[in-house]
Amino acid sequence: QTRFLDPHGNHEIDYAVVKSSERLNRLNVRSFADADASVIVKLCAGAKVQVSSRTEDWASVYIGGPGDSTNYFGVVQLEYLAFGEEAENVESGCARVRLTKDVFGGNQGREYRASWDGEKLPAGTEMTVVGVETHWEFDAEYPDRFVCMLDDGRLIVIWNDGGVLEPMETFGITAKAASNVRMREKPTTEAAALRTLSKGTKVEVLLRGEIWTMVKYKEQTGYVMSRYLQFP
């Protein structure tokens, strides 16, 4: 009988990182190899993925961590992955953040939210945002779910209710208001409006979400709905 794996073959895991012409862009991880397939998660430039197979145009990838980490399987367009030496030179769009309040675990410790009552992840915990889960509808009252890598390598999802994540560094990248839009104190339409930004106003992007983006304008920090911003 022949062995399933050749003991003399190359069994090294094939890794790549997401690349993009703009640091704020994200790569769609799809359910199957088609540009119209549903999107499972969106990855930031610089996020590391494990590549299980590839064709001329597509790659099957795995994103996860040790233990009971959150994990994702899907396919991406090969042109947006960098391998080897090219990967070392990719400019990262992964944001370093910390928790502003305690959050608590659900889904066997794979997801965390301020309103849950599982294992506590305390305020001040640092992590890196590597992506964001897809929203099927752009519901302003549904919190963004950021995919984050803890310092121990575990991959978790943070529900950003009320803005529980704050950036520890900035990219120095600006976006423009696509129309007149309110900048709010927290990522919800129920939060107080700090000011109204007129169409064309430039703001510094601190943390980009699918629904809400944390921005800075004239030394004031707040949230604007992402669909009303034009990103570079």
Whether the per-residue pLDDT at 54 is higher than 60: the answer is yes
pLDDT tens-digit series, residues 112-170:
999 999 999 999 999 999 999 987 666 667 899 999 999 999 999 999 999 999 999 99
Helices (H), the chain: 84-88
What digits encode the pLDDT tens for the residues 184-206?
999 999 999 999 999 999 999 99
- Say what the pLDDT of residue 68 is: 87
Radius of gyration of the chain from Cα atoms? Answer: 19
What amino acid occupies position 180?
N
- Asked if 199 contacts 178 with a C-beta cutoff of 8 angstroms, the reply is yes
Evaluate if residue 5 carries a pLDDT over 50.
no
| 153, 206 contact by CB (below 8 A) | no
Task: Please give the pLDDT value at position 142.
Answer: 84
Round to whole Å and give the CA distance between 173 and 205: 6
50 pLDDT higher than 90: yes
Kindly report, residue by residue over 30-44, the tens digit of the pLDDT: 999 999 999 999 999
Strands 111-113 and 155-159: parallel
Please give the C-alpha separations between residue 136 and each of 35, 40, 69, 75, 211, in angstroms, as whole numbers.
16, 10, 23, 18, 11
DSSP 142: S
Closest to 216 measured CA to CA, from 198, 208, 207, 204: 204
pLDDT score of 11: 46
Other C-beta atoms closer than 10 Å to the C-beta of 178 total 13
Q: Find, among 179, 125, 180, the residue nearest to 150 by Cα.
A: 125
In this structure, the dihedral spanned by the alpha carbons of residues 125, 128, 133 and 138, taken in order and rounded to 10 degrees, is 80
Q: What is the pLDDT of residues 99-115, one digit of tens each?
A: 999 999 999 999 999 99
Q: Which residues pair with 193 in a beta bridge?
A: 184
- pTM for the full model? 0.92
